């Protein structure tokens, strides 16, 4: 940390949604930030792709350029915020900034999830830091919490709602009784979903954030593609309604936990008990729940994206970098993120849960006995069965089954067998039920 009273010059790469918010916050909260840091932070240069575009923030003539070397070649700029999305040219820009001795702040979770090992290693070699609070859950300060505030804890579980778009869609389907496509259209109309929402609804975005949280919480690097992932595209209004009747909401849950010396991780739509913290997350909000061995359960809720919540995290990282906190944290977490070591603990890919099954079957004698028989053959014990009136989903009678604890692999095999029966009229849905964080561990019960 420098003790000089000279202004600190900041370079910004990217002046889109987040970059504009960051520049605004640095300008509009200048006095407050100066009091906090003890030095003035000034935006020295802003690099964009197309400098001829009109901007939503007024900057001095000549400050905006498409020439990255105006940051990389300027030794007076020591900190750069990389606010360009995607993998390339973001990766090359990050490398260039680090090579040229800049500390980097970024909001780009895809870049870190894909190229984290290479970029963290380069930063360490160059004695620089990479700060990335904004890359996970936007305005919720979860990275600093895990990396700094919970450093005395062995983290047992971390889970959350990490994608606002999919949460908006699920909550809107429930609250308005709307279909998936109507809710997606509403999310797009309100600016909560991109024109191409695939990375949000197929779970890619949330899984990339989960991979970063796993690095921080458990100190291991899991390529995000290895994390089991299911999006929300197959969730139908009728699943949400049936789950609600049983006291649950459907939420896209990212989770990772350590139990019996194994790590379990996945991203999937789950039934979450109404009234529990994650079930009550509405709209485009995010939430993260952590269990540490000393601190117990803690819960964070807030805006996971959007211009100013994300800018809040980026500017906090810029401040942390300037005062020297980011370097200490990066050094500590950088040692934890030993990306070559991979996991020393086995990965548990077959967790145990209760499951909600939604089937459509022909209304014939013996069908229910056949289905319960298949479940029993796979060692899956049934907690309850509800037969519903036919719905708009097509021919067949809806059958909702809640199972006792069972392994996902057993469920998968049983569902394949059930769906191959001619008496089952549409592909069945199987969703896991989320346990409370402090629920006792369960073993498989004897089949009914
Ligand atoms: N938006 C959010 O709420 C949010 C929340 C959390 C994290 N993030 C992450 O933050 C990052 C930025 O998101 P955003 O929404 O601000 O994106 P955006 O609105 O699309 O802005 C991207 C900016 O990058 C600039 N850019 C693209 N290629 C460049 C290049 N080669 N050199 C210099 N600048 C270049 C663009 O320049 P032009 O303007 O000239 O085209 C634009 O200003 C992404 O990684 C995103 O995942 C966003």
Domains (ranges, CATH) in the chain? 8-135 (3.40.50.720), 152-303 (3.30.360.10), 352-433 (3.30.70.260)
Task: Round to whole Å and give the CA distance between 7 and 396.
Answer: 71
Bridge partner residues of 353 (DSSP): 406
Q: Which of 89-93, 342-346, 441-445 has the lowest mean pLDDT?
A: 441-445
- Mean pLDDT of the chain, nearest integer: 92
The verdict on the CB of residue 260 being under 6 Å from ligand 1 is no
Atom of ligand 1 nearest to the CA of 89: 31
Q: Are 220 and 342 in contact (CB under 8 A)?
A: yes
Q: Residue 49: CB within 6 Å of ligand 1?
A: yes
The whole-model pTM stands at 0.94
pLDDT at res. 437 = 82
CA 327 to centroid of ligand 1, rounded, Å: 25
The answer to whether residue 128 scores a pLDDT higher than 50 is yes
Closest-CA residue, ligand 1 atom 21, reads 16
Instruction: Please tell me the least confidently modeled range out of 9-13, 29-33, 79-83.
Output: 29-33
Helix (H) or strand (E) holding 353: strand 352-361
Quick check: CB of 141 below 6 Å from ligand 1?
no
Q: 85 CB less than 6 Å from ligand 1?
A: yes
**48: Cβ below 6 Å to ligand 1?**
yes
Cβ proximity of 361 and 425 under 8 Å: yes
- Average pLDDT, stretch 201-214? 97
Q: Ligand 1 pocket check: which of 13, 18, 22, 80 to mutate, most ligand atoms within 8 Å of Cβ?
A: 18
For residue 59, count other CB atoms closer than 10 A to its CB. Answer: 15
Q: Minimum mean pLDDT among 22-36, 138-152, 188-202, 330-344: which range?
A: 330-344
C-alpha 134 – ligand 1 centre gap (Å)? 13
Residues 153, 148: Cα–Cα separation, whole Å: 10
Whose CA is closest to atom 10 on ligand 1?
A: 107
Q: What is the pLDDT of residue 394?
A: 57
Residue positions annotated with a catalytic role = 209
Q: Is the CB of 105 under 6 A from ligand 1?
A: no
Check residue 220 and give its pLDDT: 87
Q: Given pLDDT bands bounded at 50, 70 and 90, which one contains residue 287? A: very high
User: Region 143-157: what's the mean pLDDT?
Assistant: 94
Q: What is the pLDDT of residues 233-264, one digit of tens each?
A: 999 999 999 999 999 999 999 999 987 778 89
Cα 434 to Cα 126, 176, 351, distances in angstroms: 43, 24, 11
**Ligand 1 geometric centre to CA of 13 (Å):** 8
């Amino acid at each position: 940390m420098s003790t000089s009273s000279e202004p600190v010059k900041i370079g910004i790469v990217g002046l889109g949604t987040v970059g504009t918010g960051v520049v605004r916050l640095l300008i509009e909260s200048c006095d407050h930030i100066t009091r906090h840091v003890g030095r003035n932070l000034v935006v020295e240069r802003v690099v964009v792709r197309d400098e001829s575009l009109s901007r939503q923030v007024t900057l001095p003539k000549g400050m905006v350029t498409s020439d990255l070397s105006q940051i990389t070649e300027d030794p007076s700029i020591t900190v750069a915020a990389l606010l360009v999305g995607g993998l390339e040219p973001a990766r090359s820009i990050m490398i260039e900034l680090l090579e040229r001795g800049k500390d980097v702040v970024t909001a780009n979770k895809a870049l870190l999830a894909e190229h984290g090992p290479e970029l963290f290693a380069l930063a360490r070699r160059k004695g620089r830091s990479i700060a990335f609070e904004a890359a996970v859950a936007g305005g919720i300060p979860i990275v600093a919490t895990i990396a700094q505030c919970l450093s005395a804890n062995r983290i047992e579980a971390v889970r959350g709602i990490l994608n606002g778009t999919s949460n908006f869609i699920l909550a809107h389907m429930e609250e308005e009784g709307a279909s998936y496509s109507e809710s997606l259209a509403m999310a797009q109309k309100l600016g909560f979903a991109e024109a191409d929402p695939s990375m949000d609804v197929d779970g890619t975005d949330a899984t990339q954030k989960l991979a970063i949280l796993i690095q921080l919480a458990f100190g291991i690097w899991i390529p995000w593609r290895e994390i089991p992932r299911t999006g929300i595209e197959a969730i139908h209004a009728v699943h949400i309604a049936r789950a609600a009747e049983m006291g649950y909401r459907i939420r896209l849950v990212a989770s990772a936990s350590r139990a019996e010396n194994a790590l379990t991780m996945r991203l999937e739509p789950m039934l979450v008990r109404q009234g529990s913290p994650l079930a009550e997350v509405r709209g485009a909000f995010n939430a993260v729940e952590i269990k540490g061995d000393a601190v117990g359960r803690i819960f964070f809720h807030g805006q996971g994206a959007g211009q100013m919540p994300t800018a809040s995290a980026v500017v906090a990282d810029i401040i942390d970098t300037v005062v020297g906190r980011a370097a200490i944290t990066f050094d500590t977490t950088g040692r934890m993120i030993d990306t070559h070591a991979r996991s020393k603990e086995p990965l548990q890919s077959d967790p145990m849960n209760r499951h909600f099954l939604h089937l459509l079957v022909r209304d014939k004698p013996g069908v229910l006995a056949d289905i319960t028989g298949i479940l029993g053959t796979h060692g899956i014990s049934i907690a309850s069965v509800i037969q519903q009136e036919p719905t708009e989903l097509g021919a067949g009678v809806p059958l909702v089954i809640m199972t006792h604890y069972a392994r996902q692999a057993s469920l998968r095999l049983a569902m394949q067998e059930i769906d191959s029966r001619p008496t089952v009229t549409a592909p069945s849905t199987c969703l896991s039920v989320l346990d409370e964080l402090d629920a006792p561990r369960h073993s498989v019960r004897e089949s009914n």
